[in-house]
């Protein structure tokens, strides 16, 4: 197999400032020279000038058209001839790669000129839209024009147009684009063509589809989804699920490119205001299919479809972070760019070493997405061309030196030359020029109004062009042309005869196979008939069983009907009972609610009655207390005026002692606690004794923290002939807490009875009472009661 080297071209960019120092000089159309400037690393090690040879060197005055015709036009011609091609620009940042690939509206680059040439060449040979349809596996299916029109009418546009603002900018900027007028004429006229374009970028080692229009969520926008690489049946790598648009004009194709260009990741760096931060790959795929014998439609045979591809790659610029002063995301992007370019260099190095030294090292294509995508070009058939873009500024010498070394190494890699394949295989035996004949017949039918079928030539097969006029052969050159024509005609006849013989053999073999299959099928039919008879007997038996089973089923169905009717009757009765129960439950709840209301109202009525009675009782008790208070007041006045003074004088108490005595506490309300206490302990002294007048005197002593009882306590001796009743609690009193009166005769009792007080033997009565004060201390109180009979 013939191999060609990778063709590397060099393009020098004009200086922005003519006074800047240069490090690259063009010596000829194929050679450049690198001169190390004073501040570079090479100058420090006394490096001399280095010369590099390329396929062609384009100086700073080279036009875009001249570069396109030299580099890209042969690749476009190969694309129309069914061959693959790869063209990529390589260089440091701000070296003119994107300009070389895109250009300007007035001076287009490689990409728009390539699109113009393609559509200029296949202008009348384009297939109807949707005749070729992607099979989602890097291949294409073919369908008739009628099917394509039906699919086009049912098409729902899923790819939204470019936003109006950007679309308006595109129209204003590229509306007056100067188109390339070059036409490639030597293409097959008996085939139809369709152009499909796709545009992807490789960013941070992820592949993103620049033509994919996902639904936009203005509230929470979703990031674009990365794509994966897959291998098709021909072991070619392709981007799975990429958007591939069928375009019918160069403007439509370039608009798709511009839309993807707006989504491509660019950023501002110290070396370039719009530096590409990703590798972009714009792929043009040309699908070609031969016409049918009449030349009207595409031959409905998928195996006869040819797909050729041209990939235009704009690599991101290699850069040193020290010069660009990148940080954050820009620094991470630069690292990924340099890593992918380094992987590309490694693959080319190993590929060159395997070819030059005969080694069999594994080429690490899978290390990055970029090298894995280029695998089909370096190991398949086609052409690979690289344009090295160089900025001759002296400050870029060190990076430019690495670029030159990589370019020199790339030129040593060999790529297999694509094998030419005829557009219409000879084995089909189709007539040459049938496409032009059909188009001419269509034109005449429109102009003259004739029948298209009558205007079409009846011939289908052809041995080539018709014989030339023999009268024109008057020299050796003419005879040589005639000899070549006859040789080609003879070879074509031999090919057709061989093809006919092979088809006859194939047809004969097919007939033999059909006969064999027929015999085997007859045997199988006989066996199947026997089996069929057996199965028929089984079917009859099963039919009898089925009839008996159906009779039994009918009886069971009747019983089931009776049970269903009984069930419905019972369900109806159950429903009525449940309804009665629900009514009773509702009445019960209603009665409960009524009883609760009556209970609440009765409670409220009783509460009001009890409050009224309680108020009456309190008023009655207050009236009784007031009456008792009046009686006690009268008794106090009597005692204070007569006997009490005599008693106190007899006891030897002077005025001071009298003044130290506490005033008697009498009240007419419920706060007369001593009287209430005395009344409870002495039931004999009640208001029923109308002939008795009482006087109560209370003496209280302060409480102490010592014990209540003291066994050494001695009472004083009383004088006089009165007899006292000393009433005290069962427990002992605290020592020193009671000032005992002088009593001549006393009778101490703990459980007092009525006769002890009302009897004739008792003249005086004293009550000793103990209780706890608010501070928790024991307080002893003495109540003296004087009784006098009127």
| Residue 96 is labelled as binding a ligand | yes
Greater pLDDT, 197 or 338 = 197
pLDDT(585) > 80: yes
Which DSSP state fits 603?
H
Domain boundaries, the chain: 3-323+387-416, 431-462, 471-640, 663-704+716-789
In angstroms, rounded to a whole number, what is the distance separating the alpha carbons of residues 240 and 237? 9
Does the pLDDT value for residue 200 go beyond 90? yes
Give the range with max mean pLDDT: 206-220, 300-314, 672-686.
300-314
Backbone torsions φ then ψ of 769, nearest 5 degrees: -135, 135
Beta bridge partners of 699: 782
3-state secondary structure 276-327: ECCEEEEEEEEEEEEECCCCCCECCCHHHCEEEEEEEEECCCECCHHHHCCC
pLDDT, mean of residues 620-649: 76
* pLDDT at position 282 over 70: yes
DSSP run (H or E) holding 541:
helix 476-641
| 657 alpha-carbon distance from chain centroid | 103
**Domain covering 3-323+387-416 assigned CATH 3.40.850.10 in the classification:** yes
Does 7 have pLDDT greater than 70? yes
* pLDDT for the residue 684: 33
pLDDT of 751 over the 90 cut: no
* pLDDT, tens digit, 9 for 90 and up, residues 246-273: 999 998 998 899 888 888 765 434 334 3
Query: Quick one: average pLDDT of 673-694?
Result: 35
The annotation status of 449 as a binding-site residue, yes or no, is no
Residue 526 structure tokens: 């006989």
Q: Do domains 3-323+387-416 and 663-704+716-789 have the same CATH topology?
A: no
Residue 106 confidence (pLDDT) above 50: yes
pLDDT of residue 522: 92
Does residue 404 carry a pLDDT above 50?
Answer: yes
The average pLDDT across 475-495 equals: 76
Could you write out the DSSP letters of every residue in 162-210?
PPHHHHHHHHHHHTT----------S-TTEEEEEEEEEEEEETTEEEET
Residue 17's alpha-carbon distances to 5, 21, 62, 99, 196, in angstroms, are: 37, 9, 18, 18, 42
Task: Name the token pair of 193.
Answer: 């063509």
Least confident window among 75-89, 213-227, 375-389: 213-227
41: which 2 tokens? Answer: 């690393």
- 122-136, 370-384, 413-427, 635-649: range with lowest mean pLDDT: 635-649
pLDDT value of position 567 = 92
- φ/ψ of residue 258, rounded to 5: -65, -40
Q: Which of 506, 309, 299 has the alpha carbon at shortest distance from 423?
A: 299
Q: Per-residue confidence at 157, pLDDT binned at 50, 70, 90?
A: low
pLDDT reported for residue 43: 61
Token pair 């009839």 in the structure block, residue:
547
The answer to whether the beta carbons of residues 112 and 330 sit under 8 Å apart is: no
Residue 11, sorted as left (phi over 0), alpha (psi -120 to 50) or beta, turns out to be beta
CA gap 651, 720 in Å, rounded: 10
Mean pLDDT of 148-169: 63
Residue 314: Cβ within 10 Å count:
26
**CB of 369 within 8 A of CB of 202?**
yes
Answer yes or no: is pLDDT of 724 > 90: no
Q: Contact 290/299 with Cβ under 8 angstroms?
A: yes
Q: Is 467 helix (H, G, I), strand (E, B) or coil?
A: coil
Which of 292-301, 452-461, 636-645, 647-656 bottoms out in mean pLDDT, i.e. has the lowest?
647-656
Name the residue with higher pLDDT: 474 or 188. Answer: 188
Strand order in the sheet with 745-749: 692-700, 778-789, 764-772, 723-727, 745-749
Q: What's the pLDDT at 86? A: 93
Q: What pLDDT shows up at residue 127?
A: 92
Residue 656 has pLDDT above 50, yes or no: no
Q: Is 47 annotated as belonging to a binding site? A: no
Q: Which of 173, 103, 104 is nearest to 314 (CA)?
A: 103
- Candidate from 210-224, 665-679, 773-787 with smallest mean pLDDT: 665-679
- Local confidence band at 281 (pLDDT 50, 70, 90 cut-offs): very high
If you average pLDDT over residues 428-442, what whole number do you get?
A: 76
**Is 98 a known ligand-binding residue?**
yes
The residue ranking higher by pLDDT, 583 or 676, is 583
With 60 as the cut, is the pLDDT of residue 377 above it?
Answer: yes
Question: Can you tell me the distance from the alpha carbon of 214 to that of 159, in angstroms, rounded to the nearest whole number?
Answer: 9
> Which tokens sit at 147?
């099917």
- Say what percent of the chain tops pLDDT 70: 67
pLDDT, greater one: 225 or 709 = 225
- When the candidates are 2.40.170, 2.30.110, 1.10.3470, 2.60.40, the CATH number that belongs to 663-704+716-789 is 2.60.40
Half-sphere exposure of 81 (CA within 13 A, CB side): 17
Per-residue pLDDT of 285-324, as tens digits, reads 999 998 887 788 888 888 889 999 999 999 887 655 444 4
> Model confidence at 344, in pLDDT bands (50, 70, 90)?
confident
Average pLDDT over residues 456-477: 61
Query: Of 56-60, 162-166, 452-456, where does the model show the most confidence?
Result: 56-60
- The mean of the pLDDT values for the chain is 76
Dmax of the chain from CA atoms?
A: 197
Please say whether the beta carbons of 687 and 628 come within 8 A: yes
Q: Tens of pLDDT along 481-490?
A: 778 778 877 8
Write b or e for each residue in 682-691: b if 16 or more Cβ atoms lie within 10 A of its Cβ, otherwise e: bebbeeeeee
Residue scoring higher pLDDT (268 or 777): 777
85 is in an annotated binding site: no
- Tallying the residues shown for the chain, one arrives at 790
Given a cut of 80, whether residue 608 has pLDDT beyond it is yes
pLDDT band at 421 (very low <50, low <70, confident <90, very high): low
- Residue 689 pLDDT: 35
Beta-bridge partner residues of 51 = 33
End-to-end Cα, the chain, rounded Å: 163
Q: Is the pLDDT of residue 717 over 50?
A: no
Closest alpha carbon to 87 in 76, 95, 108, 96: 76
Token digits of residue 690: 């109308």
Q: d(Cα 14, Cα 130) in Å, to the nearest integer?
A: 46
Task: Give the residue among 239, 241, 468 at the shortest CA–CA distance from 376.
Answer: 239
Six token digits for residue 216: 């936009």
Mean per-residue pLDDT, 18-24: 84
d(CA 312, CA 89): 8
Number of Cβ within 10 Å of residue 140's Cβ equals 20
Strand, coil or helix: 428: helix
Per the annotation, does 400 bind a ligand? Answer: no
Tell me how far apart the alpha carbons of residues 144 and 292 are, in angstroms, rounded to a whole number. 11
Residue whose C-alpha is closest to residue 696's, from 654, 738, 656, 667: 667
- What confidence score (pLDDT) does residue 136 get? 86
Residue 135 has pLDDT above 80, yes or no: yes
Residue with tokens 């009565």, as numbered in its chain: 765
The average pLDDT across 626-631 equals 88
CB count, 10 Å around CB of 778? 17
Q: CB neighbours (10 Å) of residue 303?
A: 7
């Amino acid at each position: 197999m013939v191999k060609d080297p990778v063709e590397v071209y060099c393009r020098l960019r004009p200086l922005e400032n003519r006074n800047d120092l240069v490090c690259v000089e063009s010596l000829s159309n194929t050679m450049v020279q690198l001169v190390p400037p004073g501040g570079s690393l090479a100058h420090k090690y006394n490096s001399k000038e280095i010369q590099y040879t390329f396929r062609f060197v384009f100086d700073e005055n080279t036009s875009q058209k001249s570069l396109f015709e030299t580099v890209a036009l042969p690749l476009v011609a190969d694309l129309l001839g069914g061959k693959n091609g790869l063209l990529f620009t390589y260089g440091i940042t701000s070296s003119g790669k994107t300009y070389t690939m895109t250009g300007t509206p007035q001076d287009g680059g490689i990409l728009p000129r390539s699109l113009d040439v393609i559509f200029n060449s296949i202008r009348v040979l384009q297939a109807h839209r949707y005749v070729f349809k992607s099979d989602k596996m890097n291949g294409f299916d073919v369908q008739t024009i009628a099917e394509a029109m039906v699919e086009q009418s049912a098409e729902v546009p899923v790819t939204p147009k470019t936003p109006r603002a950007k679309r308006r900018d595109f129209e204003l900027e590229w509306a007056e684009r100067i188109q390339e007028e070059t036409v490639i004429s030597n293409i097959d006229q008996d085939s139809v063509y369709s152009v499909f374009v796709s545009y992807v970028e490789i960013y941070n080692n992820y592949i993103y589809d620049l033509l994919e229009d996902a639904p936009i969520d203005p509230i929470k926008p979703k990031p674009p989804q990365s794509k994966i690489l897959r291998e098709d049946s021909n072991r070619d790598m392709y981007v799975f699920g990429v958007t591939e648009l069928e375009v019918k004009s160069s403007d439509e194709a370039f608009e798709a490119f511009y839309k993807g260009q707006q989504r491509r990741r660019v950023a501002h760096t110290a070396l370039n205001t719009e530096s590409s931060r990703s590798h972009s790959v714009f792929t043009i795929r040309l699908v070609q299919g031969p016409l049918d014998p009449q030349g009207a439609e595409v031959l409905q045979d998928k195996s006869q479809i040819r797909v050729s591809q041209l990939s235009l790659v704009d690599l991101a610029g290699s850069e040193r972070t020290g010069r660009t002063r990148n940080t954050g995301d820009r620094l991470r992007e630069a690292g990924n760019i340099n890593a992918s370019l380094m992987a590309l260099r490694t693959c080319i190095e190993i590929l060159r070493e395997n070819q030059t030294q005969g080694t069999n090292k594994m080429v690490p294509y899978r290390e990055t997405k970029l090298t894995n995508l280029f695998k089909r070009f370096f190991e398949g058939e086609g052409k690979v061309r690289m344009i090295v873009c160089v900025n001759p500024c002296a400050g870029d010498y060190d990076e430019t030196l690495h670029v030159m070394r990589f370019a020199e190494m790339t030129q040593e890699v060999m790529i297999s030359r694509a094998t030419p394949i005829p557009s219409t295989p000879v084995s089909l035996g189709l007539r040459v020029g049938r496409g032009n004949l059909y188009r001419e017949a269509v034109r005449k039918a429109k102009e003259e109004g004739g029948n298209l079928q009558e205007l079409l030539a009846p011939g289908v097969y052809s041995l080539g062009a018709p014989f030339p006029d023999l009268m024109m052969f008057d020299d050796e050159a003419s005879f040589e042309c005639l000899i070549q024509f006859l040789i080609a005609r003879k070879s074509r006849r031999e090919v057709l005869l061989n093809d006919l013989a092979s088809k006859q053999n194939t047809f004969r073999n097919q007939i033999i196979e059909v006969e064999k299959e027929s015999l085997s099928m007859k045997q199988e039919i006989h066996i199947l008939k026997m089996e069929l008879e057996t199965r028929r007997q089984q079917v009859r038996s099963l039919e009898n069983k089925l009839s008996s089973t159906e009779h039994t089923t009918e009886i069971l169905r009747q019983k089931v009907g009776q049970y269903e009717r009984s069930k419905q009757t019972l369900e109806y009765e159950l429903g009525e009972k449940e309804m009665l129960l629900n009514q009773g439950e509702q009445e019960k709840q209603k009665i409960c609610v009524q009883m609760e209301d009556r209970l609440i109202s009765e409670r409220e009525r009783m509460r009001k009655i009890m409050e009224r009675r309680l108020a009456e009782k309190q008023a009655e008790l207050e009236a009784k207390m007031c009456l008792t208070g009046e009686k006690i007041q009268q008794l106090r006045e009597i005692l204070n005026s007569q006997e009490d003074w005599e008693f106190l004088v007899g006891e030897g108490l002077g005025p001071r002692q009298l003044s130290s005595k506490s005033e008697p506490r009498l009240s007419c309300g419920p706060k007369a606690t001593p009287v209430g206490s005395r009344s409870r302990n002495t039931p004999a002294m009640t208001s029923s004794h109308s002939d008795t007048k009482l006087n109560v005197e209370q003496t209280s002593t302060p409480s102490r923290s010592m014990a209540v009882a003291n066994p050494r306590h001695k009472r004083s001796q009383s004088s006089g002939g009165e007899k006292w009743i000393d009433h005290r609690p069962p427990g002992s009193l605290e020592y020193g807490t009671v000032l005992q009166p002088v009593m001549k005769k006393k009778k101490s009792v703990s459980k007092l009875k009525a006769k002890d007080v009302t009897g004739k033997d008792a003249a005086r009565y004293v009550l000793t009472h103990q209780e706890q004060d608010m501070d928790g201390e024991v307080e002893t109180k003495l109540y003296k009661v004087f009784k006098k009979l009127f």
